[in-house]
Amino acid sequence: MLILSIRHQMVIVLLLAVLMIITRSHHFISLHNLPGASWAVFFLAGVYLRAVWPLAGFLVLTWVLDYMAYTWGGASGFCLTPAYGFLLPAYASLWLAGHWYASQHQYAWRTLMPLSWSIFFGLIFCELFSSGGFYFFSGRFVETTWFEFAGRTSAYFPMYVESFLFYVGFAILLHWIIAFIVQSIRLSKMASN
C-alpha cells in the first residue's frame, strides 16, 4: 500500500493543481500545445492522496477553470450543456481507479499488473461517462446511436489516452527516481551506522 505523509500529500496537491491550471485547455494560462492533464491529475490524486477532499477540490478547480475560460477567456460554450454534470462521475472514476491502485501498490514489478488494470478501467469508465454523457445527453446530436458513438470514441479516445499516459508515465518515472534516491539514502545511513 502506498502511504505518504501529510506534508508530502500537500506538496502533491499543489503540484497537481498547478499542472491542471497550466494545461486545462482554452483559458488564459494554457501553455501552447501542452496536452490537457485533467484525466491524469484525477488518477494521480487517487493514487497519492488518501483523503476524499482533494477529489472535491479538483472538481471545483475544473469548474472554475472552465467557467473562467467561458466567461473571460473567450472559449466556446459548446460543451456547457446539461451533460457537463457527467464529468463528476467521469473524473471520480479515475480517482477511484487510482485510489484502488494505491491499495494494491507494491515496490516490485508485481505492481505493474494492478497499475495496468486500474489505468484501463479508469480510462474506460471516464470515457463512457464524459464522452458518452456528452454524446447522448448534451442535446447537440439529433440522432444518437451506439454505432456512431463507437465511431466517435475510436476517433477521439486515443488522443485522451495518449495525453493521460504521457503525464502518468512521467509521474511513474519521477516516483521511481525519488524512491530510488530515498532507498539509497536509507541504505547509506544504515551502512554508516
CA-CA distance, 151 to 149, in Å (whole number)? 5
CA-CA distance, 99 to 105, in Å (whole number)? 10
What pTM was computed for the model? Answer: 0.89
CB 77 within 8 A of CB 112: no
What tens-digit pLDDT sequence spans the chain (193 residues)? 677 889 999 999 999 999 999 888 654 444 556 788 999 999 999 999 999 999 999 999 999 988 888 887 666 666 778 888 999 999 999 999 999 999 998 877 898 999 999 999 999 999 999 999 988 988 888 888 999 999 999 999 999 999 999 999 999 999 889 888 988 888 888 887 6
| In the chain, domain spans | 6-192
- Say what angle helices 53-71 and 6-23 make with each other, to 10 degrees: 20
